[in-house]
Chains A and B, each alone.
Chain A
Amino acid sequence: MIFLKTIKLETLADLKKALQTAIELEHSTIPPYLTANFTLFDTGNDQISNLIGSVVGEEMLHLSIACNILNAIGGKPVLNKPGFIPTYPGPLPGSVSEGLVVPLEKFSLKLIHDVFMAIEEPENPIHINNLAVSPGVITIGVFYTRIKEIISELEAAAKAEGKTIFVGNPKYQMTYEKFFDSTLLFPIIDEETAKRGIDIIIDQGEGTTTDPFITPIDDGNVQELAHYYRFEEIYRGKTIQVDPAGGYMFGEPKIPFNPKLVPNMWPNPKMNDYPKDSQAYVNSKFFNYNYTSLLNSLHETFNGEPEKINTAMGVMYSLRLYAIKLLAIPDPNHPGYVAGPSFEYVVGE
C-alpha cells in the first residue's frame, strides 16, 4: 500500500500544491504500467494487456480530473518540467521515502503482486488501525478525502464573503467524449463537480470497502473492477465473480499468463547507460523525446488548449511503436537482455 507524506492542507495555495502532487502521482503510475504492458505486445497475452491498458486509461482520466480541478480554482497544472517524471526505481511522488519502490520492469506476476497491487491496494479497517499508530503518513484515499474536505472548507469560507474559489477560466476545462464518458470527465465548475470528480478517482482506484466492482455510476455505467482487483485477477489468473454462496470468488474464465514470448527487458533502463553509438541509445532517445513531446502536448492541453488532447493522443500511440522497437534491440550492457523504455524527460536535441 502506498503511504503519502502528511501534507499541510489549510489554504488555497496548499490545495493547489496538493492537486499538483495529485497530478504527478496519477501520472507516475503510467510509466511502470505501460512498460509492463509494452512487454506483452504480440505475446499472446492480450487479455492481461487489455486489463492493464484499461487501468492506464483510467489513470489518464484521473490525471485529467486533477488538472481540471486545479484549473477550476485558478491554478496552473505543470506537466512539462524535468522533475515531473519520477526516477525509477523509486518512491512515487508525494509518498514516503521508505515506502514502496516502483520500478520499470517487464511484465511478471511478481511485479503485479508486489508493485501494482501494492500501488492500488485499498484502505481497509486493518490498515486504518495501522495508520493510527503511524501519524506521519496517509493513504491515497485519505489524501483525496482531505482534498475534498479542504475544497468544502475553502469554498464555504469564500461563499461567506460572497466569493468562490472556482475562479478558473471555464474554457480550460478538458472533456473528451470520444474516450471518456461525460459522466466521468466533465467540466469542473463548482464544489459539487470537483468533489464528484474526486469520488470517481477514489472509487476507480480502490473500489468501496464492500464491493470490488466500481460503483457503476463512477465508471460510465460499465461493470468493471477497481484497479486493485483487476490486478489481482491477473495475479491469480482467474476472474472475480459474485459467489452464489455470498460475497465474491475467483473463477472461470481463466486469465492465463504465457511468459514464453515476453521480451527479457533489463529492469530500470537509463538512456545514458547505453553506449552513445548503439541502437539502444538512439532508440531510447527517440522514445524519450516522444515521451517528452507527450508531456508537452498534455501541458498545452491543460493550459488553455484543451483541443490539443487529440494531438496528445497521437503521441501516445506513436510512443507504443518506439517502445516496441526498443524491446527488439539487445541491451548492449547486459547480454541476454533487451533494451527498454526509460521514460526520461529530455530537452534540446
Chain B
Amino acid sequence: MSYLNVPRLTFSGQFQADPSTVNNDPTHFNNETFETKYQNYGQGQENGWWNPDGTGNWRFIGCKITSVTYQDGTSTDNPLLDPIIGMSVMDTDARTAGKIVDLDTQQQMVSELWGFIVRIVSNEGNTLVKGDYEVAAFTNIWFSRSVDKTADGAAAASYQSIIKNIDWNFGIVNSRYLNELKAVSAKQLSIQFTVDRYNGDNTSAGFTLGRIAGSIGPSSSIEPKHFVLGRQLFPLGKTYNYATALVDEKLKQVVLDFGNALQFNTGGVVKSIVDLHLVIDTNSGKSEGYVDIGKIDYASPDWYMGTSGIFTFPLSDEQLNLATKYPLAITQIITSPKNVFTLETTRTSTAIYAESVDYVCADQFVFRLDPDDNCKVNFHATHLGKALPNAIIQLQDDTKKLLASPPPPVVPVIGVPPILYFSGKKPVEITTDANGKARLEFIAPDPGNPRVYIDGQVYGISYTLSTQKFAKDCNQSNFISLLIYSGAPATEIVLDWDSFIQPIMQQYANLYPLMSKGIFNLADRAVFENNAQILHLVFSKDPEDPNYMPATRDLSKYKKTVILNYLQSIIDNTATENKA
C-alpha cells in the first residue's frame, strides 16, 4: 500500500526551502582560497549564489487538505461531508524546523529532508495526527517544468517517503477519513509531494518559497517506502515527465499520479491543454490496439492544486483483465477536419507515454557511509507492476557520467579511487527472489582524501535489469548516489585545535555565514571552547534530530569522534577548574 491506495488525502500549498548556497560551489570548500565575498548574494563562483544566508530550514507553509478518497473508492472535497477538508498539513510546532540537505557539493540533485515532522492540524489548531518523516531524497527532477521561469524556479521534483512514530489524537473530530486511515494504517503512512515554482529571488516577498502539492495514504511495511510498486509511465518527449499509475484490482480502478508530469506556465497554470487519454496498449504501440480507459481531464484551473494531479479511472471487468496483461500508455488524440468542406473529422492517436513493462528501482538511493560501513540497497523488480522474480540486476560505477562536473574552473576530481567492489570488467549482478526483491550489500572502502579540501568522495552507481540499457531504457534519476567519508589519515597527525579542529570549523564558518555570525563563530577557538557544552550536545545528537550539527550532515565519523573528544576534554577541564 502507498499514497496511491485508499484511504488517501490530497493537500497543497507552499513550502519553504532555505539552504545556504555558499557551498553550492565545490571550490568554496577550500579554506586557503576562500574569500569573504563568497558569502555575498550573487551568481557565480566569485559570489555566494542566491542564498548565502540560508538556514537550511524546510517547512510546509499554508498547506490545506483538498480532497479525500475513502476505502470504497468514493471521494469528496466538501468539508460538510468530512471536516478534514480544509484542515492544515503542517510541520513541527514545538521544535526547530526540518532541514533540506544536499548529499554533497558535487551531487546536489538528491537533496534530502532531515528532522522533518508532518502533522494534520484542525482549524482550531489541534494536532490530530503527528509523525516523523523518514529521511528521503527527491527524485524525477526536471528543469523544464515551468516554462515561464528559469533555473530552480523552472524545476520540479518529487519526494516520496513514509511517516512513522505516529500519534493519533483525533477523538473529537468526526472525520470518516481519519477513522478509516487509522484503521487501515495506524503504524505508518505513505506521503508523496511534488515541489515546483521555487522562488530564488532574494528581493522578492516569496523568496525561498515554492509550490507544493501532494498526498498521504496508507503504507505497508513490505512495500518500498520511496516509490510505488505500480505501473511506471515514461514520457516519450521532453515536454512531459515521469508518471506512475496503480491498478487497484479490488476497487477496479486505475489511479494515475500525474503530479510531476505536465508543464506549467505563467500564473502556475498548465501550459497547454490537449486531449490526453489513459489507454491499454494491447498491440505494441499500434494505435488500433489502444483500449481507452478515460480522458485525462486537467482543464479546470484548480485541477493541480485541487487534486495534486491524481486521477482515478473506473475499469470494466474487460478493461481490468486487459490492464493486468498489457502495458498502459497515454495517448494524445488529435481531431482534425478531413477537408474544409465537410464536418467529418479524423482522429489520430499518438503515444505520449509508454509503460516501462519491466522495471527495477532501489528503494533508498542516497547513502552517507563511513569506511567499513555495510551498505545495503534494496531493489524491487516488477513486470507490469507485479513482482518480477529471478530477474538479474546489473550494477556499475558510472560516476563520471552520472555526476557530471561543471566545466572549468577546476573542481575536485570525483569517483576516485574507484570502489573495488564495482570495478571489475563485468557489472556486479544480483538476482531477485520470488517477491521480486534483491539486496545489494558491500563494505564501504576508505576513499582516502582524493578531493583534498572536501572530505570523502562521491560516487554514482547505475543499475539496470540485465535485459536493459541504462541510457535507453531507464529513468535517468534511478541511480544510487554514495558519499563515502574519509577515514583516519594514514599518517599520524596531531589532533589539536590548530592543525585539526580549526580547519574543519573554519570551513563551516566560511560556508554557513548566518550560523557562524548569528550563533557561533566556530572558527574562533574561544567561542568554540566557551560553548563546549552546547556544541557537544548538538554534535552528538542523532542526525535525524533537526538540531544535529552540522546541519549539512557531512561530518565523517572519524572527524566527529575527534571533535567530540576534544569538546569533552574542554568540559572535563572546566569542571576540574571549577572544583579547584
Chain B, range 18-42, C-beta contacts under 8 Å to A: none
- A317 pairs with B519, CB closer than 8 A: yes
- For the complex with contacts A279-B204, A318-B57, 7 further pairs of A-B residues with Cβ separation under 8 Å are A278-B205, A286-B16, A290-B97, A300-B94, A317-B519, A318-B97, A320-B519
Given contacts A315-B96, A324-B514, contact A348 B534 (CB under 8 A): no
Residues in A with CB closer than 8 Å to B537 are 178, 310, 313
CA distance A318 to B205 in the complex (A): 21
Q: Is the interface of B mostly helix, strand, loop or mixed?
A: mixed
Given contacts A293-B94, A296-B94, A314-B546, contact A320 B533 (CB under 8 A): no
A37 to chain B, nearest CB (A): 12
CB closest residue in chain B, given A181: B578
Residues in A with CB closer than 8 Å to B519 are 317, 320-321
CB closest residue in chain A, given B89: A349
Q: Return 10 A-B CB contacts under 8 Å, by A number.
A: A278-B205, A279-B204, A282-B206, A297-B95, A311-B96, A317-B519, A321-B519, A322-B55, A349-B61, A349-B63
Residues in B with CB closer than 8 Å to A300 are 94
- A318 pairs with B63, CB closer than 8 A: no
Number of residues in B with C-beta < 8 Å to the partner?
38
Is B344 engaged at the interface, CB distance under 8 Å to the other chain?
no
Residues in B with CB closer than 8 Å to A179 are 533-534
Residues in A with CB closer than 8 Å to B207 are 279, 282
Given contacts A178-B534, A324-B514, contact A318 B96 (CB under 8 A): yes
CB closest residue in chain A, given B532: A178
A12 to chain B, nearest CB (A): 30
Which of A279, A281, A317, A349 has the most B CB atoms < 10 Å from its CB? A349
CB closest residue in chain B, given A179: B533
User: Hey, what's the 0/1 contact readout for A168-209 against B, CB within 8 Å counting as 1?
Assistant: 000000000011000000000000000000000000000000
Select one of B55, B92, B95, B121 contacting A321, CB under 8 A.
B55
CA distance A293 to B578 in the complex (A): 35
Residues in A with CB closer than 8 Å to B204 are 279
Given contacts A321-B55, A348-B88, contact A277 B205 (CB under 8 A): yes
Chain B, range 190-233, C-beta contacts under 8 Å to A: 204-207, 209
Chain A, range 296-348, C-beta contacts under 8 Å to B: 296-297, 300, 308, 310-311, 313-315, 317-318, 320-322, 324-325, 328, 347-348
CA distance A310 to B96 in the complex (A): 11
User: Hey, what's the 0/1 contact readout for B425-460 against A, CB within 8 Å counting as 1?
Assistant: 000000000000000000000000000000000000
Is B498 engaged at the interface, CB distance under 8 Å to the other chain?
no
Residues in B with CB closer than 8 Å to A292 are 93
Number of residues in A with C-beta < 8 Å to the partner?
35
Is A149 engaged at the interface, CB distance under 8 Å to the other chain?
no
CA distance A321 to B518 in the complex (A): 6
CA distance A279 to B57 in the complex (A): 16
- B518 pairs with A348, CB closer than 8 A: no
Residues in B with CB closer than 8 Å to A308 are 94
Summed over the interface, the residue pairs from A and B with CB atoms below 8 Å come to a total of 86
- B534 pairs with A324, CB closer than 8 A: no
Residues in B with CB closer than 8 Å to A277 are 205
CA distance A324 to B519 in the complex (A): 10
Residues in A with CB closer than 8 Å to B515 are 321
CA distance A215 to B210 in the complex (A): 54
CA distance A282 to B57 in the complex (A): 14
Residues in B with CB closer than 8 Å to A315 are 94-96
- B95 pairs with A293, CB closer than 8 A: yes
CA distance A153 to B344 in the complex (A): 100
Residues in A with CB closer than 8 Å to B417 are none
CA distance A331 to B206 in the complex (A): 16
Is B102 engaged at the interface, CB distance under 8 Å to the other chain?
no
Is A211 engaged at the interface, CB distance under 8 Å to the other chain?
no
CB closest residue in chain B, given A222: B578
A53 to chain B, nearest CB (A): 12
Given contacts A314-B547, A318-B55, A321-B55, contact A349 B93 (CB under 8 A): no
Select one of A281, A322, A349 contacting B62, CB under 8 A.
A349
B132 to chain A, nearest CB (A): 14
User: Hey, what's the 0/1 contact readout for B75-97 against A, CB within 8 Å counting as 1?
Assistant: 00000000000001010111111
CB closest residue in chain B, given A299: B94
Chain B, range 82-120, C-beta contacts under 8 Å to A: 88, 90, 92-97
Is B125 engaged at the interface, CB distance under 8 Å to the other chain?
yes
CA distance A308 to B92 in the complex (A): 14
Is B123 engaged at the interface, CB distance under 8 Å to the other chain?
yes
- A349 pairs with B517, CB closer than 8 A: no
Select one of B94, B95, B125, B533 contacting A348, CB under 8 A.
B125
Is A14 engaged at the interface, CB distance under 8 Å to the other chain?
no
Select one of A296, A311, A313, A318 contacting B534, CB under 8 A.
A313
Is B53 engaged at the interface, CB distance under 8 Å to the other chain?
yes
CA distance A292 to B90 in the complex (A): 14
Residues in B with CB closer than 8 Å to A324 are 514, 517-518
CA distance A310 to B514 in the complex (A): 21
A19 to chain B, nearest CB (A): 23
A307 to chain B, nearest CB (A): 12
- B209 pairs with A282, CB closer than 8 A: yes
Chain B, range 139-183, C-beta contacts under 8 Å to A: none
Chain A, range 139-180, C-beta contacts under 8 Å to B: 178-179
- B90 pairs with A349, CB closer than 8 A: yes
Chain A, range 106-157, C-beta contacts under 8 Å to B: none
A300 to chain B, nearest CB (A): 6
Residues in B with CB closer than 8 Å to A293 are 92-96
CA distance A289 to B206 in the complex (A): 17
Residues in B with CB closer than 8 Å to A314 are 95-96, 538, 546-547
